[in-house]
Structure 1
Amino acid sequence: MDWLQDRSVAVITGAAVGDALGGATEGWTPEQIEERHGGRVRGIVGPYHPDWRDARPIAPYHKGDGHITDDTLMTQALVDVYASRREHLDAYAVADDLVPLMIGEPRWIPELEADALLLQRVFLAEKWLVARLHYGHVDPREAGAGNIVNCGAAMYMAPVGLVNAGDHRAAYAEAIDIAGAHQSSYGREAAGVFAAAVAAAVTPGATVPAVLAAVLEVAHDGTADAIGAVVDALAGWSAAPATDEQERELARVVRAAVAPYDSVGPDYRAMSRDARRPSRTKSIEELPAALGLLIGHRGDFRGAVLAAVNYGRDADSIAVMAGALAAGLGGSAVVPADWLDAIETASRMDIRATGRLMGQAAQEILEGDRRFARQRLESLAGVLDPQGRVVG
């Protein structure tokens, strides 16, 4: 398997593993998670409430037991759009291709244990895509305005990083365009920065510091501030946690660094009055938290993902981002096969095949980029003299 194919499989499967493990702990505090599971979660576990069909606020979703959630379902849908078009995407592609997939093609939804439309699984922030683009006929580039500001767009942007492998600036720009159909403000910004992080992570020879440098180069406003705060808070972190108490301390340090920028507030299920409103000073929590846990575990996949799972709050999306980046850095071999096998079986889907499909599409798109780059160089030769000065 060549580099791009391997990294595509790694990122897609790594994100899905994080999603499935984190789904069981989403919405709870670290203390509640440990109490429910008799200690820290170390792999696939069952739902927080065994009576998940009726338990509130979980019903009717069967989270846990290796079931992927909407993060992976939306990622797969975006992969399908890239595979169909074999070209870079924009907000219009969301309206023309992604939304029809959400409302027109039933698929197996693990958490519902039924065939259903993707629209029937996603939450209101994602249903916004259908309401605004299919029913409202809003300009796709502006459709995200007015939606709640959250990680809804960022959570499925990993494919954008793959089709821009090695070019974090291009990944950021493409994701910002795509996410304009879904989100605004720091939700849209996070989508761009996460795509940039993936593009940097799958660059040959990439390291965690290189990924951080890439995201800080493109990030703006509260997103940049939150990531910078996490980086500063972990500057003296000497080694990856070796004990449960060190793991707990890492989570506390990351949460304390992110908290001033997170609009949701300390109680995840009783959000503050400023929650999810546009802001120049705020950030989603998921991306800086994932980066912090990645830093704390020195890029180790298993360590970073389990840290995200036990972090609680929006654990599945944090683990998606940590998993995608750690897998992008380490390759498909770092994604535990026993976890992935169990998740594919429980979720009734071939996630590796989605990764391979993504790799094929990314290969064609990047080959097109190379042809364009050569043409561009030839054009510049007629515009600039040999010393680089404009002709004329």
Structure 2
Amino acid sequence: MASSACVPSASTPGDAAGLRERARGALLGLAVGDALGAPAENMKPSEIRARWGRITGYVAEHPAGTDDTEYAIFSGLLLARHGSALTVAHVEAAWHQWIADLDEGPFRGAGFSERGTLENLRRGLAAPISAQHRHAWSDGLAMRAAPFGVFAAGRPAEAARLIAIDGSVSHDGEGIYGGQAVAAGVAAAMAGARVDAVVTAALSVIPDDCWTSRSLRRAVAVAHRGERAVRSAVVIGGYPWTDLAPEAVGLAFGAYAAARGDFRCAVLSAVNMGRDADTTAAVAGALAGATCGASSIPEPWAQAIGPARGSCLPSMRGHHVLDVAELLLPAGESS
């Protein structure tokens, strides 16, 4: 796919205007990617082609973010409240206050990792035991990691530290590593890092020999060969679940690297590769949005994103990702 690569400006964490543009780009990019990818979730590329040809924009009549956007808002609000002083106790309390202790109605609460976490919390279990369920390796932490990169702009290690605290309630092992890679990548992009440096930052905060690291490296190494090569490098053929963190994070970084950070190309590449398309496109959108800023997001796509509908988390209804972006900026840099 041809791409007019975005060349990030040499902004620093002290550049207020640049930080605000990137923060808005990261979280709006996440929501746009989520909404674009939602209809293609759990589909194969061949199924996508048979139904829509190549997806080049919204295919839903009323596009909206899914659990990916609403959980990112949840984590963003939590982080804005506590900042670097965030503790596991804060995260547990927020899960109870905003999710677990509410009457959420049928089919609410998001994916397998979130459902398992909620069941454990409602049984009175606490972290890290609350994360001991069958999907602790899912991409549910990666999907909500971007706010940590926005908050810790230019500090990938701090972003990784904070997302691990958030994730300890719901994830373990590869699930944590996936979230850390995304948070660190966004943190690097927020400071104006180029694509290769963003990838390096993501890899720097997770073990070299973990599955997520191997998947991410394989995807980026073949990204120049296109979507089929990226998909072949990381997808676990025949495995029924599409929410594996190593797979989703690999696909997202592969799409981002193939597009050289270009927002439109990165997100559409992630969408058209299928699998957990809302999450992979949300992560690719957060990375590319932080790299190139909110102005890189096509206006019709951006305009479709309104306040969260609360379809997954009723307590997040009415919150907008752009408001969360403002909250995560350092004091005095949100105006």
**2:17 equivalent in structure 1:** 2
**2:48 equivalent in structure 1:** 33
Q: 2: distance between equivalents of 1:184 and 1:206? A: 29
Residues 105/355 of structure 1: CA separation in 2 closer, same or farther (3 Å cut):
farther
Calculate percent identity across the aligned residue pairs.
29
**2:250 equivalent in structure 1:** 288
Whether the aligned pair in 2 keeps the contact of 1:103 and 1:117 (CA below 8 Å) is no
Task: Note the C-alpha offset of 1:96.
Answer: 0.8
Match of 2:274 among 312, 335, 348: 312
TM-score (norm 1): 0.72
Matches within 5 A, 1:238-387: 250-259=226-235, 265-267=236-238, 270-271=240-241, 284-344=246-306, 353-364=320-331
Task: Note the C-alpha offset of 1:144.
Answer: 1.5
**1:70 equivalent in structure 2:** 67
> Which whole-Å deviations, capped at 9, do the CAs of 1:245-280 have from their partners, x for residues lacking one?
xxxx61111012113xxxxx3246x359xx96xxxx
Q: 1: distance between equivalents of 2:141 and 2:307? A: 27
Q: 2: distance between equivalents of 1:158 and 1:101? A: 20
Task: Note the C-alpha offset of 1:65.
Answer: 3.3
> Which whole-Å deviations, capped at 9, do the CAs of 1:288-336 have from their partners, x for residues lacking one?
1111111111110000101111111100000011000000000110112
Residues 229/69 of structure 1: CA separation in 2 closer, same or farther (3 Å cut):
same
> Which whole-Å deviations, capped at 9, do the CAs of 1:165-215 have from their partners, x for residues lacking one?
101011112112221111111111111111111111101x31101101111
Q: 1: distance between equivalents of 2:25 and 2:327? A: 14
Residues 32/164 of structure 1: CA separation in 2 closer, same or farther (3 Å cut):
same
Match of 2:86 among 81, 89, 96: 89
Residues 24/252 of structure 1: CA separation in 2 closer, same or farther (3 Å cut):
same
Whether the aligned pair in 2 keeps the contact of 1:5 and 1:360 (CA below 8 Å) is no
Stretches of structure 1 that go unaligned for 5 or more consecutive residues are 47-63, 107-115, 238-248, 260-264, 277-282, 367-392
Matches within 5 A, 1:177-192: 177-192=165-180
Matches within 5 A, 1:45-60: 45-46=59-60
Q: 2: distance between equivalents of 1:163 and 1:15? A: 15
**1:233 equivalent in structure 2:** 222
Matched, 1:42 2:56: yes
> Which whole-Å deviations, capped at 9, do the CAs of 1:323-379 have from their partners, x for residues lacking one?
00000000110112211212328959777x43233333331499xxxxxxxxxxxxx
Residues 170/83 of structure 1: CA separation in 2 closer, same or farther (3 Å cut):
closer
Aligned residue pairs total 310
**1:380 equivalent in structure 2:** none
Higher RCO structure (Cα 8 Å, ≥6 apart): 2
**1:208 equivalent in structure 2:** 195
Match of 2:139 among 151, 154, 179: 151
Residues 145/256 of structure 1: CA separation in 2 closer, same or farther (3 Å cut):
same
Secondary structure of residue in 2 paired with 1:122: coil
Residues 182/310 of structure 1: CA separation in 2 closer, same or farther (3 Å cut):
same
Secondary structure of residue in 2 paired with 1:27: coil
Residues 317/118 of structure 1: CA separation in 2 closer, same or farther (3 Å cut):
farther
**2:6 equivalent in structure 1:** none
Whether the aligned pair in 2 keeps the contact of 1:103 and 1:118 (CA below 8 Å) is no
**1:14 equivalent in structure 2:** 29
Stretches of structure 2 that go unaligned for 5 or more consecutive residues are 1-15, 311-316
Q: 2: distance between equivalents of 1:322 and 1:103? A: 29
Whether the aligned pair in 2 keeps the contact of 1:6 and 1:331 (CA below 8 Å) is yes
Whether the aligned pair in 2 keeps the contact of 1:176 and 1:192 (CA below 8 Å) is yes
Q: Which has the larger radius of gyration?
A: 1
Q: 1: distance between equivalents of 2:306 and 2:278? A: 16
TM-score (norm 2): 0.84
Task: Note the C-alpha offset of 1:88.
Answer: 4.0
Q: One-letter code of the match for 1:80?
A: L
Residues 117/11 of structure 1: CA separation in 2 closer, same or farther (3 Å cut):
farther
Whether the aligned pair in 2 keeps the contact of 1:66 and 1:347 (CA below 8 Å) is no
* Cα RMSD, aligned residues only: 2.8
Secondary structure of residue in 1 paired with 2:43: coil
Whether the aligned pair in 2 keeps the contact of 1:17 and 1:323 (CA below 8 Å) is yes
